[in-house]
Amino acid sequence: MTLRSALGPQPGSRRSSLGHARGLGSTGRGTEHWYWERLTALALVPLTIWFIVQLLSGVAADYDTMAGWLTVPGNMVLMVLLAFFYFWHAWIAVGVVIEDYVHHDATKIGGMIALKFACILFGAFSVVSIVLIGLGG
Amino acid sequence: MATRKRPLSPHLSVYKGQISSVVSVMQRITGGGLAVGLGFFVYWLGAAAYGPDAYATAQWFLTTWFGYLCLFGFSVSMYFHLCNGIRHLVWDIGWGFEIHQVTAGGIAVLAGTVILTAITWAVALAELGVL
């Protein structure tokens, strides 16, 4: 990114405002990171409310009830989506916290790698668990 | 490179807490709580996937006083982060930046957290036969 582009569109420039703004920011990736944090948050609002209502209606009361609940395709899909977006949101947001508060480079990079591997490992474990229970163990 | 102790500029601790800043900091803290809660979420799902015995163990653990304490913290964090997250999404579409709106929104988030947590636990404890 040149200083010239950081100063905004030049008089007479034929680039659109969006074309100009794309790719700005300290990482050169513009608003991508910010956007996906919001998108995952937006998905989690209805999913979280649905999940709490389900829990309060007693779906986790015992093993058979929960297993039966997850055999319903709609419930299985929404649980997979909840796990997926919950981990995706944590991937982004916990990463921001690490970047903000860990100042030692090796620890920071190690923490970011550990976070991403943990999200992939436990996210995959969650999704596989949900599907296995739904398909009858 | 030689480093020496230099004076630091005033940091967070010198400022008096305001509703806007306190709610903002709490968004991070409750987010951390939800990251811990993610561990409980995975444990609960994994226990069910491993079968009835593992699920019974998870249920035993989650209904000890420590389990209830964790679930309570999880629910408070969840409702706070959810309410304030919605407040953030509203800001993201450009609404509510006046000081009185920021203050009212912060109070609404705190009130919403208390009310939703209270309703949730009243229902849950009634179902469990505790209330």
Across the A/B interface, how many CB contacts are shorter than 8 Å? Answer: 75
In this complex, do A126 and B85 lie within 8 Å of one another by their Cβ atoms? Answer: no
Interface of B with A (CB under 8 A): 28, 31-32, 34-35, 38-39, 41-42, 44-46, 48-49, 51-52, 55-56, 59, 78, 82, 85-86, 88-89, 92, 120, 123-124, 127
pLDDT of residue A32: 83
| Residue B90 domain-assigned (yes or no) | yes
Rounded to two decimals, the pTM is: 0.86
- The better pLDDT of the pair B14, B122 is held by B122
Q: How many domains does chain B have?
A: 1
Quick one: how many helices (H) and strands (E) in chain B?
4, 0
A92 touches chain B (CB under 8 A): no
In this complex, do B92 and A66 lie within 8 Å of one another by their Cβ atoms? Answer: no
CA distance A5 to chain B (A): 25
Nearest one of A132, A133, A126, A42 to A80, comparing CA atoms: A126
Helices (DSSP H) in B51-64: which residue ranges? 52-62
| Residue B15 domain-assigned (yes or no) | no
- pLDDT tens track for A4-58: 455 566 677 777 777 777 766 666 666 788 999 999 999 999 999 999 999 999 9
A38, A97, A132 member nearest B49 (Cβ): A132
What secondary structure letter does DSSP report for B22? H
Are A119 and A87 within 8 A, CB to CB? yes
- The better pLDDT of the pair A23, A80 is held by A80
CATH class of the domain comprising A31-134: mainly alpha
pLDDT of residue A27: 64
- pLDDT tens track for B46-91: 999 999 999 999 999 999 999 999 999 999 999 999 999 999 999 9
**pLDDT at residue B92 greater than cutoff 70:** yes
d(Cα A90, Cα A73) in Å, to the nearest integer? Answer: 26
Q: Structural domain of residue B93, as residue ranges?
A: 20-37+65-127
Q: Give the CATH number for residue B102.
A: 1.20.1300.10
Cα A41 off chain centre by: 8
* DSSP state string for chain A: --HHHHT-PPTT--S-HHHHHTT-STTS-TTHHHHHHHHHHHHHHHHHHHHHHHHHTTTTSSHHHHHHHHTSHHHHHHHHHHHHHHHHHHHHHHHHHHHHH--SHHHHHHHHHHHHHHHHHHHHHHHHHHHHHHTT-
Give the ipTM.
Answer: 0.90
d(Cα B110, Cα A91) in Å, to the nearest integer? Answer: 26
**pLDDT at residue B45 greater than cutoff 50:** yes
| Residue B69 domain-assigned (yes or no) | yes
Q: Other CB atoms closer than 10 Å to residue A90's CB: what's the count?
A: 21
Residue of A42, A47, A52, A121 to mutate for B, most B C-beta atoms under 10 A: A52
| Residue B76 domain-assigned (yes or no) | yes
Would you list the domain boundaries of chain A? 1-30, 31-134
